[in-house]
Amino acid sequence: MTEMIHQLPDAKDFLLNLTVNSVDETAALAENCTKLLTGGEIILLWGPLGAGKTLFTQHICKGLGITDEIVSPTFTIANVYPGEKTIYHLDFYRLESTDELVDVGFEAMLEDVEAGNAIMLVEWPGPALKWLDDRIEILIQPGTEPDKRTIHLRGTSELPVAWQQLFQEN
């Protein structure tokens, strides 16, 4: 039986939120987030299909100097982008159980991130939650207009102050 691993979190459980009114504002927010990344971060990206999770990831990668084409790993499960810090872009939407994480080499990627050598961005992260203690979570919700989004932010332990400030200043 398939585990309940693709349920979206409730926006009310997030510490901060802000509204972006265009793709450009979403891209700018993501690129501003890169100023806070030093290696070792795990960012979980929640949102319904088409909400902008991959767009957000594309602009984080752009802000980190990745020049490769950034595409959704929906079918490949994991895309790896080498750079000053390796970027692991994962999408667990197609996984039906947590057991499948072993097949994609998740543990080795996680060790690399925990050593500070990489940054992990995970779309549809439900299958991996029990392995990810310290993380930043972003929930992207589409608005009433095509490019309008509400972006929610929380941390699982304590949300770093710099992240709080970034969301409060925008």
For residue 53, the model assigns a pLDDT of 94
For residue 4, the model assigns a pLDDT of 59
Q: What percent of the chain has pLDDT over 70?
A: 98
Q: Which residues make beta-bridge pairs with 90? A: 78, 122
Q: Which residue has the higher pLDDT, 96 or 66?
A: 66
For residue 114, the model assigns a pLDDT of 95
- Cα–Cα distance between 27 and 24 in angstroms, integer? 5
Which residue segments constitute the domains of the chain, with CATH numbers given?
Answer: 15-169 (3.40.50.300)
User: Dihedral of the CA atoms 144, 8, 61, 136 (nearest 10)?
Assistant: 120
Q: Which residue has the higher pLDDT, 124 or 160?
A: 124
Environment class of 162 (CB within 10 Å of its CB; exposed 0-12, middle 13-18, buried 19+): exposed
pLDDT at 24 over 70: yes
Band (95; pLDDT cuts 50, 70, 90): confident
CB-based contact 121:43 (threshold 8 Å):
yes
Q: Which residue has the higher pLDDT, 166 or 4?
A: 166
- Cα–Cα distance between 154 and 139 in angstroms, integer? 9
For residue 11, the model assigns a pLDDT of 94
**Helix residue spans in the chain (DSSP H):** 23-33, 53-63, 106-114, 161-169
Q: Which residue has the higher pLDDT, 79 or 169?
A: 79
Q: Which long-range contacts (CB under 8 A, 24 or more apart) does 98-103 make?
A: 98/3, 98/5, 98/127, 98/128, 98/130, 100/127, 101/127, 101/128, 101/131
* Predicted structure pTM score: 0.92
pLDDT digits (tens, 9 = 90+) for 30-39: 999 999 999 9
* Pair type for strands 86-91 and 118-123: parallel
pLDDT at 67 over 60: yes
The mean pLDDT value of the chain amounts to 90
For residue 1, the model assigns a pLDDT of 33
